[in-house]
Amino acid sequence: MLTQAQIDTFNTEGVLVVEDVLPASVLEGVKTEYTALLDRLYEGWHAEGRVPAPEGMDFWQKLLVSYEAGCEWFQPMDITLPGGAFTADTPMHQGPAVFEMLRCERLLDMVEALIGPEITSNPIQHVRLKPPSRTLRSGETTAHIQATDWHQDRAVAHAEGDNTHMVTVWLAISDATLENGCLQVVPGKPQMYPHCPQKQTSIAPGLLDESKARPLPVKAGGAVIFHPLTPHASLDNVANDFRWSFDIRYNVTGQPTGRAHFPDFVARSRAKPESELKDWRVWKQMWEDTRARLAPEPHIPIHRWDGNAPVCA
């Protein structure tokens, strides 16, 4: 549970760094689950002749070799459907270890201190496995594996969620440092800035005072919590190693998530504990059912911004 001083800091600055949020068992469970996932993906690519034999390679070496070979590993490892168009067989990952992480008691205690005891796991959530920037392919467009531009989380959702009581929790699976591209924020909770869908959807040029930016390194297992209006970005990964994190959100149950076409679930309820989802297989099926339902339908944009707006010129 957060102290009153931590809650006051969050309410004043719109951001809070908390160490040792995820227990070692949860952290190791996620790593083990993703190692097995990558092993399966790599085996398939090797059978196709796209990557060399994996003998002697660890998780990070396989990830880098696969990336350099042009293999698409981000979406099969992500925990949500993509923001763009997708098909009935678009891959994604919903596993028991990730589900346990989303329902981690220590994490939910922290969220409860900020938004109250009726907590929904918001569907806007991603894994972020960021390679060293020197290895990025020319023209790389996947925002979740390169430096992230300045934006506000409330802005990259639908307007129906603008009044929802919500927090973002950025979980470090590996150490996040100045060198490997930790988060940076401009503290405070300003109004919503106009955003422009450029290479990434980001705050319109010239509106944010980036001189006030504060980098937020955090150890593996720790978290950066921020208000949905807190402007944030990530630094470039100039290290030699990957940086691994999850970007997840929670909102007050019953309030709009900002992405109603994607599934959410009750992670904690003090009033109706029987409403909590406790079976990861149900969570997985919810996403698969959503994919099957939406794939043949016209694409639903994930935010409200138009690149033709005057502020984007």
CB-based contact 184:232 (threshold 8 Å): yes
Query: What's residue 197's pLDDT?
Result: 87
Tokens of 217: 């390194």
Specify the pLDDT at position 226: 95
The whole-chain average pLDDT of the chain stands at 95
Mean pLDDT within 182-196: 91
Cα 192 from Cα 212, distance rounded (Å): 17
Whether the pLDDT of residue 243 is over 90: the answer is yes
47 phi and psi angles, rounded to 5 deg: -65, -30
Of the two residues 287 and 140, the one the predictor is more confident about is 287
User: Which residue range is the domain that position 67 belongs to?
Assistant: 4-138+145-312
Q: What CATH number does residue 298 fall under?
A: 2.60.120.620
Confidence of residue 102 (pLDDT cuts 50, 70, 90): very high
pLDDT reported for residue 309: 81
DSSP letter (8 states) at residue 98: H
- List Cβ neighbours of 268 (8 Å cut-off, separation of 6 or more): 103, 108, 111, 112, 117, 118, 119, 276
Residue among 102, 45, 98, 46 nearest 73 (CA): 45
Residue pLDDT, tens place only, 40-52: 999 999 999 999 9
Answer whether residue 297 shows pLDDT above 80: yes
Q: How confident is the model at residue 308 (pLDDT cuts 50, 70, 90)?
A: confident
Q: What is the DSSP code (8-state) at residue 14?
A: S
| Percent of the chain whose pLDDT exceeds 70 | 99
82-96, 189-203, 204-218, 290-304: least confidently modelled range: 189-203
pLDDT tens profile 244-262:
999 999 999 999 999 999 9
Quickly state the pLDDT bin for 146 (edges 50, 70, 90). confident
Share of the chain above pLDDT 90, in %: 87
Q: Which of 166, 27, 36, 151 is nearest to 101 (CA)?
A: 27
Q: Region 16-36: what's the mean pLDDT?
A: 98
Q: Are 225 and 168 in contact (CB under 8 A)?
A: yes
Rounded distance between C-alpha atoms, residue 226 and residue 87, angstroms: 33
Assigned token pair, 198: 């450029």
What's the whole-number mean pLDDT along residues 60-86? 95
With a cut of 80, say whether residue 263 has pLDDT above it. Answer: yes
Using an 8 Å Cβ cutoff, are 80 and 246 in contact? Answer: no
Number of domains within the chain = 1
* pLDDT for position 279: 98
pLDDT at 241 (0 to 100): 94
pLDDT value of residue 48: 97
Q: Using 50, 70 and 90 to split pLDDT, how confident is the model at 137?
A: confident
On the question of pLDDT at 141 being above 90, the answer is: no
Q: What is the number of other CB atoms lying within 10 angstroms of the CB of residue 4?
A: 8
Element (H, E) at 110: helix 105-115
Render pLDDT for 106-132 as a digit per residue (tens, 0 to 9). Answer: 999 999 999 999 999 999 999 999 999
